[in-house]
Amino acid sequence: MGAPLPVPLPPTPPLIELRGISRIYGQGEAEVRALDGVDLTIHAGEFVAIMGPSGSGKSTAMNIIGCLDRPTSGHYLFNGVEVAGLNRDQLALLRRHYLGFVFQGFNLLARTTALENVELPMIYKGLPRSERQTRARAALAKVGLQGREHHDPSQLSGGQQQRVAIARALAGEPMVILADEPTGNLDTTRSHEIMELLVALNRDEGMTIVMVTHEEDMASFARRLVVFVDGRVARDEPVRERV
Amino acid sequence: MLWETIRLAVQAITRNVLRSFLTVLGVVIGVAAVIAMVTVGQGSSAQVSADVASLGTNMLILRPGKQMMGPGQRDQAPAFRLADTEALKTLAVVGSVAPVSSSSQTAVYGNANIATSITGTNSSYLTVSNWVVLRGRAFSEVEERSGAAVCIIGETVRQELFGNTDPTGEMIRIKAMSCQVIGLLQAKGASSFGQDQDDVVMMPIRALQRRLTGNQDVATISVALAKSVSTERGIREIQTLLRERRRIGPHEEDDFSVTDLKEIASMLTSVNTVLTGLLSSVAAVSLLVGGIGIMNIMLVSVTERTREIGIRLAVGAEAGQVMTQFLVEAVVLSILGGVIGIALGLSLAYFASRMMVIPFSPDPLVVVMAFGFSALVGVIFGYFPARRAARLDPIEALRYQ
Ligand SMILES: Nc1ncnc2c1ncn2[C@@H]1O[C@H](COP(=O)(O)OP(=O)(O)OP(=O)(O)O)[C@@H](O)[C@H]1O
Ligand SMILES: [Mg+2]
Which of B254, B286, B310 represents a domain boundary (last residue)? B254
- pLDDT at position B193 over 80: no
- pLDDT at position A243 over 60: no
Beta-carbon contacts of A125 under 8 Å, excluding residues fewer than 6 positions away, are A96, A97, A172, B316
List the single range of A5-14, A60-69, A231-240, B392-401 with lowest mean pLDDT. A5-14
A61 CA distance to ligand 1 middle (Å): 10
Contact check, Cβ <8 Å, A121/B315: yes
Taking the CA of A53 as reference, the closest ligand is: 1
B218 and B300 both lie in a single domain: no
Beta-carbon contacts of A67 under 8 Å, excluding residues fewer than 6 positions away, are A78, A83, A91, A94, A95, A99
The residue among B73 and A75 whose pLDDT is bigger is A75
Q: Determine what percent of chain B is predicted with pLDDT higher than 90.
A: 38
The answer to whether position A223 is within a domain reads yes
The answer to whether position A39 is within a domain reads yes
**How many whole angstroms separate alpha carbon A195 and alpha carbon A203?**
12
Q: What is the pLDDT of residues A175-214, one digit of tens each?
A: 999 999 999 889 999 999 999 999 999 999 999 999 999 9
Calculate mean pLDDT across residues B316-327: 88
The answer to whether position B56 is within a domain reads no
Residue B316 is part of which domain span?
Answer: 2-51+266-399
The answer to whether position B106 is within a domain reads yes
Q: Does residue B76 sit in helix, strand or coil?
A: coil
B158 and B302 both lie in a single domain: no
> Are A64 and A212 in contact, with CB atoms under 8 Å apart?
no
- pLDDT at position A1 over 50: no
Ligand 2 (ion): which residues have CB within 5 A? Answer: A 59, 104
Residue A204 is part of which domain span?
Answer: 16-108+174-238
B299 and B339 both lie in a single domain: yes
**How many whole angstroms separate alpha carbon A79 and alpha carbon A94?**
11
Show residues of chain A in contact with B399, CB under 8 Å: none
Calculate mean pLDDT across residues B323-349: 89
How would residue B12 be classed by pLDDT, with cut points 50, 70 and 90?
confident
Find, among B332, B394, B358, the residue nearest to B7 by Cα.
B332
A235 CA distance to ligand 1 middle (Å): 19
- pLDDT at position B194 over 80: no
The per-residue DSSP string of chain A comes to: --PPPSSPPPPPPPSEEEEEEEEEES-GGG-EEEEEEEEEEE-TT-EEEEE--TTSSHHHHHHHHTTSS--SEEEEEETTEEGGGS-HHHHHHHHHHHEEEEBTTB-PPTT--HHHHHHHHHHHHT--HHHHHHHHHHHHHHTT-TT-TT--GGGS-HHHHHHHHHHHHHHT--SEEEEESTTTTS-HHHHHHHHHHHHHHHHHS--EEEEE-S-HHHHTTSSEEEEEETTEEEEEEEPPPP-
Taking the CA of A102 as reference, the closest ligand is: 2
pTM of the model: 0.72
pLDDT at position B74, please? 53
Calculate mean pLDDT across residues A218-236: 96
The answer to whether position B68 is within a domain reads no
pLDDT at position A72, please? 95
Chain B contact for A112 (CB, 8 A cutoff): yes
Atom of ligand 1 nearest to the CA of A62: 18
B194 and B103 both lie in a single domain: yes
The residue among B191 and B332 whose pLDDT is bigger is B332
How would residue B231 be classed by pLDDT, with cut points 50, 70 and 90?
confident
The answer to whether position B134 is within a domain reads yes
Calculate mean pLDDT across residues B183-188: 91
B235 and B320 both lie in a single domain: no
Per CB distance under 8 Å, which residues of B are interface residues toward A? 1, 4, 8, 11, 15-16, 304, 307-308, 310-321, 391, 393-395, 398
The answer to whether position A149 is within a domain reads no
The residue among A51 and B228 whose pLDDT is bigger is A51
Q: Provide the number of structural domains found in chain A.
A: 1
- pLDDT at position B206 over 80: yes
Domain of A84: which CATH number? Answer: 3.40.50.300
> DSSP letter at B78?
P
The per-residue DSSP string of B95-163 comes to: EEEEEEEEEEEEEEETTEEEEEEEEEE-HHHHHHTT--EEEE----HHHHHHT-SEEEE-HHHHHHHHT
List the single range of B24-33, B104-113, B209-218, B312-321 with lowest mean pLDDT. B24-33
B270 CA distance to ligand 2 middle (Å): 72
**How many whole angstroms separate alpha carbon B293 and alpha carbon B27?**
9
pLDDT at position A227, please? 97
B98 and B44 both lie in a single domain: no
Question: What is the phi-psi region of residue B284: left when phi exceeds 0, alpha when psi lies from -120 to 50, beta otherwise?
Answer: alpha
Which of B204, B220, B254 represents a domain boundary (last residue)? B254
Q: Is any atom of ligand 1 closer than 6 Å to the C-beta of A50?
A: no
Q: Is any atom of ligand 1 closer than 6 Å to the C-beta of A53?
A: no
Mutate to test the interface with A, among B8, B17, B311, B387 (most CBs of A within 10 A): B311
Q: Does residue B34 sit in helix, strand or coil?
A: helix
Beta-carbon contacts of B382 under 8 Å, excluding residues fewer than 6 positions away, are B23, B298, B326, B327, B329, B330, B333, B334
B241 and B152 both lie in a single domain: yes
Q: What is the pLDDT of residues B339-386, one digit of tens each?
A: 999 999 999 999 998 888 788 888 899 888 888 887 787 788 778 878
Contact check, Cβ <8 Å, A95/B319: no
Q: Provide the number of structural domains found in chain B.
A: 2
Calculate mean pLDDT across residues B90-117: 91
Nearest-Cα distance to chain B for A107, in Å, is 7
The answer to whether position B316 is within a domain reads yes
Q: What is the pLDDT of residues A62-100, one digit of tens each?
A: 999 999 999 999 999 999 999 999 999 999 999 999 999
Interface ipTM above 0.85: yes
Atom of ligand 1 nearest to the CA of A57: 18
B158 and B191 both lie in a single domain: yes
Taking the CA of A52 as reference, the closest ligand is: 1
- pLDDT at position B45 over 90: no
**How many whole angstroms separate alpha carbon B59 and alpha carbon B130?**
11
pLDDT at position B392, please? 86
Contact check, Cβ <8 Å, A88/B318: yes
B205 and B159 both lie in a single domain: yes
pLDDT at position A123, please? 92
For B15, which residue in chain A has the nearest alpha carbon? Answer: A111
**How many whole angstroms separate alpha carbon B40 and alpha carbon B36?**
6
